[in-house]
Structure 1
């Protein structure tokens, strides 16, 4: 049996999900974690208050326009984890992959957190051809360079999505309004940020090879896990328990999944980025139920904890009340 990977480089260590992954890796004590960060990064609503987690082995500033800078930062690393904003320049990820492979890194966790995309198209939620194409292209790119990838099929991030605007889960906390997709009873799987961080950390604590479970079990595959399997009605019930509201305090309307998907597509085509969120989120609530990955999840194999839904909802409500959730709007 081999040992776990020791030296882990992560892009986005101070970002949303990256913070939780980085902290979980550091807390295990198995790894030297290095943050790869853009030098002289301009302040934005997303990073103005971001701080690097304590306990990092190193922080290396890079110039994305300099291949040599990226390669030098990744020398000596065993794995590269990429977490970045969906609106980052399209070539950012391939630049990182090229540098990682040249630096001798053979394990890469690309910027793919959320949906399940199998090569044969099985168990995929919604009509996400655009996302599938990009996801598959990056996987094949890594393989073509001689590297190995591991995707993270965790579903949507629960507290982030619930605290967001109506174009995500249909909740608008400021207006106390909720748009139910169809009847609001279709379940989907989702994960909290701590669960994502813990899952990645437990995965990388495994030996690379040997008796299962080992890292090679997920070589060029996705690791599938979740915190909850929820419908919009389940989420609303939790919100009411946490806030003390009554259902009558909320204005509830309905929109068909098909209608909402098409509306989001049209908005996006016309340049309204919120349309992307609308058609992306509603895709896991289609009546076919393919947004529920419970049958595929590997929580027990990874030794993940059972979480408390209301505690996670409290975090989402706190994000709303603090105004932090407004920093995560699509722009």
Structure 2
């Protein structure tokens, strides 16, 4: 039987990805959780949780020292920092040097080993390169380091919260308007941020189940038009809808990214969900859903939409 993972260190604990993961880790009594933060951070952390601070450079030596003594490391660093300056690779090297037994890298989106995804969105290609490196280094360690990769599709609760995502999917709940790209029938998996956090905690709680596995999550599969229909039905209003074509915008964003504008990646990420492009986001169709094995609570589209409407009303 696999030795339990008890001492967990999380990086990026207060970001959009990290907050629900930290909450789930702290709720598991068998875990001892430590937060790693950079020196310049002004983030506030829960009382009583140990915090380690290192320089903004995140050097391999500093990471190794911080990781030493921990069974598992969860990287919840946001897309920008983790894909720049080889930070993701330094985290892997430091885990090996520190004797960490399990690493959950910062993915939480598409299948970053799928050419359909990596050919459209540059950061998926960067994360795919990182995951391949992790798989190779873990295999070479002969079991000393193991990994769990988590792909959760879209966080619709986050995407419908303008304060968190800036109306990432082009759906403005407060103003009752939406942009529909192409047919509006692109199917993509949705996992709530809360269930993503639960999945991380339960993958670590059952290390033998999740060892060296890609874990795909899907609370449900939906389309932009289904989301809009639920919003209109629950608000009792007809929304203002603008129809657009994604192909010209994708070409424009790729050119911007190639010219050095990293911010263009967020537009590409959004269109990878809502445009008529095939990136393998329908995890149920792909046959790769772990919600049942991990015992995640059932979530439904109308429930997530209801929460977004209530949030918008509270902000008025």
Question: TM-score normalised by the shorter chain: which range applies?
Answer: 0.7 to 0.9
Instruction: Report the CA distance shift for 1:259/1:175 in structure 2 as closer, same or farther (over 3 A).
Output: farther
Q: Which runs of 5+ in 1 are unaligned?
A: 44-49, 324-331
SS for the counterpart of 2:229 is helix
Shift of 1:82: 0.6
**For the residues of structure 1 that align with 2:276 and 2:21, how far apart are their CA atoms?**
30
Instruction: Report the CA distance shift for 1:178/1:320 in structure 2 as closer, same or farther (over 3 A).
Output: same
- Find out whether 1:231 has 2:223 as its counterpart: yes
Match of 1:276 in 2: 265
Question: Conserved in 1, the CA contact under 8 Å of 2:112 and 2:125?
Answer: no
Instruction: Report the CA distance shift for 1:94/1:317 in structure 2 as closer, same or farther (over 3 A).
Output: farther
Match of 1:246 among 214, 217, 237: 237
Listed one character per residue, the Cα deviations across residues 206-260 of structure 1 (whole Å, up to 9, x for unaligned) are 1x33xxxx232xx0x3110122211111211232344x2412xx22121223233
Match of 2:293 in 1: 301
Match of 2:112 among 117, 138, 149: 117
Say how many residue pairs are matched. Answer: 301
Match of 2:102 in 1: 107
**For the residues of structure 2 that align with 1:53 and 1:127, how far apart are their CA atoms?**
40
Instruction: Report the CA distance shift for 1:302/1:133 in structure 2 as closer, same or farther (over 3 A).
Output: same
**For the residues of structure 2 that align with 1:268 and 1:69, how far apart are their CA atoms?**
31
Match of 1:79 among 65, 68, 72: 72
**For the residues of structure 1 that align with 2:307 and 2:34, how far apart are their CA atoms?**
28
Match of 1:46 in 2: none
Alignment root-mean-square deviation, CA: 2.7
Q: TM-score of the superposition, structure 2-length normalised?
A: 0.83
**For the residues of structure 1 that align with 2:199 and 2:193, how far apart are their CA atoms?**
10
Match of 2:148 among 147, 150, 158: 150
Match of 1:160 among 158, 174, 182: 158
Instruction: Report the CA distance shift for 1:202/1:239 in structure 2 as closer, same or farther (over 3 A).
Output: same
Q: TM-score of the superposition, structure 1-length normalised?
A: 0.80
**For the residues of structure 2 that align with 1:254 and 1:105, how far apart are their CA atoms?**
49
Shift of 1:180: 0.9
Shift of 1:188: 0.8
Shift of 1:204: 1.1
Shift of 1:126: 7.7
Which range moved further: 22-31 or 279-288?
A: 279-288
Question: Conserved in 2, the CA contact under 8 Å of 1:154 and 1:196?
Answer: yes
Match of 2:250 in 1: 261
Question: Conserved in 2, the CA contact under 8 Å of 1:195 and 1:226?
Answer: no
Match of 1:38 in 2: 38
Match of 2:51 among 59, 66, 78: 59
Instruction: Report the CA distance shift for 1:103/1:277 in structure 2 as closer, same or farther (over 3 A).
Output: same
Match of 1:134 in 2: 126
- Find out whether 1:290 has 2:280 as its counterpart: yes
How do 1:165-244 and structure 2 match up within 5 A?
168-173=168-173, 175-206=175-206, 208-209=207-208, 214-216=209-211, 219=212, 221-242=213-234, 244=235
**For the residues of structure 1 that align with 2:166 and 2:119, how far apart are their CA atoms?**
20
Q: Which runs of 5+ in 2 are unaligned?
A: none
Match of 1:47 in 2: none
Instruction: Report the CA distance shift for 1:96/1:270 in structure 2 as closer, same or farther (over 3 A).
Output: closer
SS for the counterpart of 1:299 is coil
